[in-house]
Structure 1
Amino acid sequence: MKRMLITLSSAVLAFSLAGTASASTAVKSQSVKVILEDKVVDFGADLVVTKGKTFVEYKALLKQLGYETEFDQSLRTIYAEAEEMELQFSVGGDVAFVNGLTLPSTGEVIEQNGKTLVGLRFAGALTNHDVEWDNKAKSITLSYSGPSAQEKAAVYEVFNKMLLIEAAGDAQGLKDLMAEDTVMDIASVSEGWKTTKTKTKIEKLAIQSYSDTSVVVVLVEDTSKVSGGFFPDNKSQTRYTLHKDKAGSWKIYSIEVLAQQYTNIPGLFEQKATIPETENTSIRKIFDDQIKAANEQNVDAYVATLVDFAEKETLKTTLTDLFKSTTMNITAEKWAIVEYNGSDKAKLLVSTLNEVETGGTKSQNRAIILNDAEKVNGKWLLKAEAVLLSNEQL
């Protein structure tokens, strides 16, 4: 079973996890009935009432709810999967994960008489089930409260349209797919489509949360270049937030990349742009100057290779402190200009071999770096911010 990706930056949802039975009411396990979607389920000895709360052996319960489970003995952790749902929770843990979102779980997963038990109301919260206790009938009813099949289909339709729009390079279609209050920079995406065509495959889609006005969906997307300008193929885990428009249709409010892995690093160096040799040589020289300054721990020479920016003095301080404790030997292994606008902007891709010594400890790594260059007053300089595509420890 594929284990879920845990997003540590997810917000902790605070809500009450009240017991399924009143603490003041003595209830025998055998007298409690569990009703799941109007059907009475007999859990027998797998159902335990303790300290006023009803617990059920995790595997027996989750099987009834349509989940496959796996138990990691070393971590005392349960992994469970059903359609669009991935759960993770641990014995004695304080936090559980549902499609990457975190939920409090203190006291909800216990071990008793050799069994791993999960609180019934807590399990309902994990699996989108409302849980009701009928004290008179001594029954607990679980009713599915997540989006219906029709509601899910309306959400899926957004992403079906998105793939069609990408395939057509339809800038207007992209704009129409965005919510009125979207925080997305639609113009920059449309501009990219003018030069590069991509194809995205959605490998997984999971609805994290659903309400009448907002949906949060996490996708695993595999995107590759079809034609045109420079583009690094990648696989990403992406969170989409959708809002409803006035007509009741779902639209994209925001897109957040949670994790990303570039899938064809060697192939990136084959995406060379056409650039005059004199310009290529000038850009290579400024990068070589930057490497030389870093190796020689020359702060001023390093900063002199950069396009002017507001935080220059802060960078100088950072480099000064770094060079006091660290020595390095950086060598450029591969080099390619992968974008050139014909005049004053370019993008360079470099593979560097880095030997670093800090506090007597030596290490070596290979880094793949994507850096923007800009021609200022007739001289090529590098942007202070670069993108680290890959970092391999050797």
Structure 2
Amino acid sequence: MKKAFWLTALITVLTLALAGGASAAQPKEITVWLEEEQLSFDVPPLLHNNVTYVEFRGLFTALDFEIAYDAAAKRITALSYDEETEIEMTIGSNRTLINGEPASGQVQPLVRDGRTLVPLRFVGEATGLNVAWDGVERTITMSAPVPDEAYLASLEAFLQKLGQAESSGDIAAVRALLDKRSPSYDTIDQTLTAHLANVKIVSVYEMFDIGDWSDTSVELLVDNLSTKVSGGFFLDHNSSLVLDLTRDGKDREWKIEEIWTFGKEYTNVDKLIGTEATVPADEKAKIIAVLEEQFAASNAEDMDRYMATIDPNVDGYASIKDFLELIFEEYDLNYELNDKKIIGYDGNVAHIYMVQTTTKIKGSDFTDNRLEAIVKISKQKDGKWLIGDTTVLDTEEI
């Protein structure tokens, strides 16, 4: 009995030891991190012939790619959210395309449990991300490349140069910082220089983030504080902007290709609307009359009358008629001019503070609202006053 007992015990110990050894030999599961976020997959990453593979669909979906699969051709495609990167691969083939060009080396996808897996190194080539493999911890970390100090310094220098050019009223210096090849050149020029001939300002730009970037282009997120020092009418403002900058390989100087405004706070409105400009009585009557005529034309849905009140030099003039036709067709609205005051006047340009109420009479979904705005009205060569840009200060539902 003792012999049988010790034999049983020995077998048990050996079995446990072998089981423990087998458990210890199991490698840690590979984990994938995108910046600070751990990603999860239907099929976990794996090592195959000393190459790390990750699930294509799960990974590129996390990277905001749109995935499509052609079952007949066994072809899988992925398109980035900005439509700048397209990947195409075929199951069973080692020919993979990035933006129509063959990927470097051979990218042979694997299929596991109905999912396509691709080599880790391919991920970096296709996305531009830094991809790091920690063999000890068995982790994959993907992160966006970070601009170096010299790159950041070049951006800061550009913003300082732009602010100084605007603050000194040097229109030529501002224009020298614009990309003349940009389709938006005239609009950008108007935005940055139109007021400089009549108003002295202090303009300060401060970078707070960087979007997509490369050696020759960058998406720059900035705050701009522009404050009037002297001169004509000006709305002090604190704006949040996206500046798309480009540079070539020759002069290496940044230029503005596009500007987007995604936030603006006017900081001197209360002061401006608290005063009323001195205007000759006859000119004041004409200025007020053209604004009232526009309201009357809107309520009558009379396109010709409305367009006769618009300054043909206003930005977007050609699209105003198309927009109004859509509004007149879709809705029957009532426009009421609740308040009006001329707060700026220099003989050729007037600025009117107005309060407008818009209510639906009939039509599809529409939210009745109250709007505060400042309207620019310019005197034409024939002496007529016509309406130009409108700056909306506030809107609220009613």
Q: Where on the TM-score scale, by shorter chain, does this alignment land: which range?
A: 0.5 to 0.7
SS at match of 2:239: strand
SS at match of 1:192: coil
Tell me the equivalent position of 2:44: 52
1:81-120 map, 5 Å:
95=64
Q: In 1, distance between residues paired with 2:160 and 2:320?
A: 45
Deviation at 1:365, TM superposition (A): 1.5
Tell me the equivalent position of 1:366: 371
Q: In 2, distance between residues paired with 1:355 and 1:143?
A: 51
Tell me the equivalent position of 2:395: 391
SS at match of 1:236: strand
1:147-190 deviation per Cα after TM superposition (whole angstroms, max 9, x unaligned): 11222222221112222333333334324434564553476444
- Contact 1:35/1:142 (<8 A) preserved: yes
1:233-276 deviation per Cα after TM superposition (whole angstroms, max 9, x unaligned): 33322222222355553322323123132323333435765542
1:69-148 map, 5 Å:
95=64, 129-133=129-133, 140=140, 145-148=145-148
Unpaired runs of at least 5, structure 2: 1-24, 47-60, 66-79, 84-119
- 2:336 aligned partner, one-letter code: I
Identity of aligned residues (%): 23
SS at match of 2:158: helix
Task: Calculate the TM-score normalised by the size of structure 2.
Answer: 0.58
Q: In 2, distance between residues paired with 1:187 and 1:142?
A: 40
Tell me the equivalent position of 1:162: 162
Is residue 281 of structure 2 the alignment partner of residue 277 of structure 1? Answer: yes
Q: Of Structure 1 and Structure 2, which has the larger fraction of its residues in strand? A: 1
CA gap of 1:173–1:374, structure 2 versus 1, over 3 A, is closer
1:69-115 deviation per Cα after TM superposition (whole angstroms, max 9, x unaligned): xxxxxxxxxxxxxxxxxxxxxxx97849xxxx9579xxxxxxxxxxx
1:145-224 map, 5 Å:
145-179=145-179, 181=181, 184-185=185-186, 188=190, 189-202=192-205, 204-224=207-227
- Contact 1:130/1:143 (<8 A) preserved: yes
Deviation at 1:51, TM superposition (A): 1.3
Q: 1:225 aligns with which of 225, 228, 251?
A: 228
Q: In 1, distance between residues paired with 2:142 and 2:375?
A: 52
CA gap of 1:362–1:240, structure 2 versus 1, over 3 A, is closer
Deviation at 1:352, TM superposition (A): 2.2
1:219-258 map, 5 Å:
219-245=222-248, 247-258=250-261
SS at match of 1:169: coil
Q: In 1, distance between residues paired with 2:222 and 2:121?
A: 28
- 1:184 aligned partner, one-letter code: Y
- 2:337 aligned partner, one-letter code: T
- 1:213 aligned partner, one-letter code: T
1:171-221 deviation per Cα after TM superposition (whole angstroms, max 9, x unaligned): 343244345645534764445222112334445421212222222212133
Q: 1:331 aligns with which of 331, 337, 344?
A: 337
SS at match of 2:342: strand
Tell me the equivalent position of 1:382: 387
Q: In 1, distance between residues paired with 2:335 and 2:39?
A: 63
SS at match of 1:194: coil
CA gap of 1:236–1:51, structure 2 versus 1, over 3 A, is same
CA gap of 1:28–1:203, structure 2 versus 1, over 3 A, is farther
The number of residues matched between the two structures is 298
Task: Calculate the TM-score normalised by the size of structure 1.
Answer: 0.58
CA gap of 1:373–1:142, structure 2 versus 1, over 3 A, is closer
- Contact 1:370/1:386 (<8 A) preserved: yes
Larger Cα Rg: Structure 1 or Structure 2?
2
- Contact 2:344/2:350 (<8 A) preserved: yes
- Contact 1:240/1:253 (<8 A) preserved: yes
Q: In 2, distance between residues paired with 1:223 and 1:28?
A: 63
Q: In 2, distance between residues paired with 1:333 and 1:381?
A: 19
Tell me the equivalent position of 1:259: 262
Q: In 2, distance between residues paired with 1:136 and 1:253?
A: 46
- Contact 2:31/2:39 (<8 A) preserved: no
Task: Between the two structures, name the one with larger relative contact order (CA 8 Å, sep ≥ 6).
Answer: 1
Deviation at 1:318, TM superposition (A): 4.4
Deviates more, 1:144-153 or 1:261-270: 261-270
CA gap of 1:32–1:155, structure 2 versus 1, over 3 A, is same
- 1:165 aligned partner, one-letter code: A
- Contact 1:180/1:245 (<8 A) preserved: no
